[in-house]
Amino acid sequence: MPTVYIDEIAKFQGQEVTLQGWVYNKTAKGKLIFLMLRDGTGLIQAVMFRDTVGDALFESTLALTQESSVRITGTVSEDKRAKGGFELQVSTLEVVHLAAEYPISPKEHGIDFLMEHRHLWLRSSLQHAVLKVRHEIISACRDYFDNMNFTLIDAPIFTPAAAEGTSTLFETNYFEDKAYLTQSGQLYMEAAAMAFGKVYCFGPTFRAEKSKTRRHLTEFWMIEPEVAFCDLEGDMELAEGLICAIVERVLDKRREELKRLERDLSKLECIRKPFPRLDYEDAAQILKEENSQFVYGDDLGAPDETIISARYDRPVMVTHYPAGVKAFYMKRDPERPDRALCVDLLAPEGYGEIIGGGQREDDLDTLLSRIHEHQLPVENYDWYLDLRKFGSVPHAGFGLGLERTVTWICGLQHIRETIPFPRTISRIYP
C-alpha cells in the first residue's frame, strides 16, 4: 500500500493509501470522527466510523489533540464538497506522537505572541501560503537568470569592508581582526562579471538598521545580478524583465495561495512592460505637487516612494538621483556629473523600493577619489580597484530585495511574515 502526499491524492482515487501528517482539526459526531489532516502539501478530511475501526481505535482517536502526528490508512474517495475534492475513508490510524496542548488556536493572537511562537506559527495556513509564494519567487528569479546563461556565483558573508555605507555595518570578531557581515554581494559580483560576463548571487545580507519599520529587516535575502559591458539602460531592461517573470510565475503557479491571502489578483495581472521611468527631477515634481515633506536634493524617504508608486498601476523606475545620496561605486552621468547613473524600482500600490542598482564607476582614478571622499579605508578596497586596472569595462547590476518583493506580491502590511525566521532590531528569537 503506497504512502503518499495529499497533493497527489487525485491519482489514487478508489485505492487504499497511507498518509502521514498532523491533526489540524477534529470534530466528532456520534459514531463518526472527522479529522482534518495536514501534511505540508495540503489538507484532507479523513472520516472514521466506530463500526469500521472498533471501539479502542475510535476512543484513542477521540483523544487526539491538535497537531498530534499520525499515520492514517484509508481509501481515497471523491467528494465534491470537500476541500481539494477528496476524502479519506479511514481503515486504520497509528498515533506517532500525541501533542501537548497547542498554544496557537484559531482565535486571534497578537503579533508578539505569534512571533514568539514563529516556529509553530509556520504551520498555519496563511504563513504557509506566504512561504510558498516566497519559494516560487526565488525559483522564478533563478530560472530567469539561468535561462539567460548567467552563472550563479556565491558571495562571501564575512567581509573586510562596507559596500553600502558604514552606518549599518554589523561588526564581528574575526580572530585577531575585525570583520563585517556582508551588506551586499555586489563588489564580489563585479569581480565575477569580469570573469564570467553575466553573473548573479543570491544570499543573505545584513544591515544594522536601527529603525523599526514595516520595510526593514536586519537580515534579508538579495538577488544581485551583475553584467559586463552593460549600461544603465541595459540594467533597467534586465530589472523590468525580472519583475515581469516573477509576476507571471506566481500568477501561474501560486494563484491558490494568493487567493488564500486575499490578494487582489487584478493588481498583479495588469503588470507588464514597459514600466514608467521617472528622472529624479520628475519624482521631485510629483512630490512637490503632493505637498510632501521631501527636500529637493535628498534621497527619497519611504513616504515619498509611497506617494510616487501609488500614482501608477505598475512598477516605476526612478533614475539619476543626486550622486551625494548614493553609494561610492556609482558612476556619474557624464552630462550631469552631480547625478548618479542609478535606478530604484518602486513596487506599485505604495510598496516602495524593491530594487536598487545602476552602472558602476569603471575609471580607476575616479573610483579612488570617491573612496577617499566617502572616507573609506582604501587598503580594504585594493582588490576592488584591481578590477579597474585589468581590462576595466562599463558594467551594471542591481539588487532585488526578496522579502520586500514577497511583501508586495502577497499584498502584506509588514515585511516580518515574508521570511521564515525574521531578524529585526527587536527580535532574534526564535
Give residues in contact with Mg ion (CB under 5 A). Answer: 356
> How far is residue 178's CA from residue 173's CA, in Å, rounded to a whole number?
5
Closest to ligand 4AD by CB, 68 or 184: 184
Site for ligand 4AD in 350-389 (CB under 6 A): 353-357
CA distances to 123, 343, 353, 357 from 399, rounded to whole Å, are 30, 10, 11, 6
When CB distances are held under 5 to 8 angstroms depending on the partner's kind, the choice from Mg ion, ligand 4AD, none that residue 355 binds is ligand 4AD
Would you count residue 315 as binding ligand 4AD (CB under 6 A)?
no
* Contacts of ligand 4AD in 392-421 (CB under 6 A): 397-399, 401, 403-404
- Candidate list 39, 67, 87, 224; residue touching ligand 4AD; CB under 6 A: 224
How many other CB atoms are found less than 10 A from the CB of residue 230? 22
Min separation Cβ 132 and Mg ion, Å: 27
CB 46 within 8 A of CB 87: yes
Cα–Cα dist 43/23, whole Å = 10
Residue 186 contacts ligand 4AD per CB under 6 A: yes
* Smallest distance, Mg ion to C-beta of residue 165, A: 10
Q: Biggest alpha carbon distance in the chain?
A: 86
Choosing among ligand 4AD, Mg ion, none, which partner's interface includes residue 298 (Cβ < 5 to 8 Å by kind)? Answer: none
Q: Which CB, 179 or 317, lies closer to Mg ion?
A: 317
Q: Which stretch binds ligand 4AD (CB under 6 A): 9-17, 213-221, 259-267, 364-372?
A: 213-221
| Minimal distance, residue 177 CB to ligand 4AD, in Å | 24
Residues in binding contact with ligand 4AD, number by CB under 6 A: 22
Output the CA angle 414-416-417, nearest 5 degrees. Answer: 90
CA atoms of 185 and 202, how far apart (whole Å): 8
Nearer residue to ligand 4AD within complex by CB, 38 or 134: 134
Measured CA to CA, the distance from residue 401 to residue 353 in angstroms comes to 9
Burial category of 206 from C-beta neighbours within 10 Å (exposed 0-12, middle 13-18, buried 19 and up): buried
CA distance 300 to 304: 6
Chain residues binding ligand 4AD by CB under 6 A are 163-164, 184, 186, 207, 209, 216-217, 220, 222, 224, 353-357, 397-399, 401, 403-404
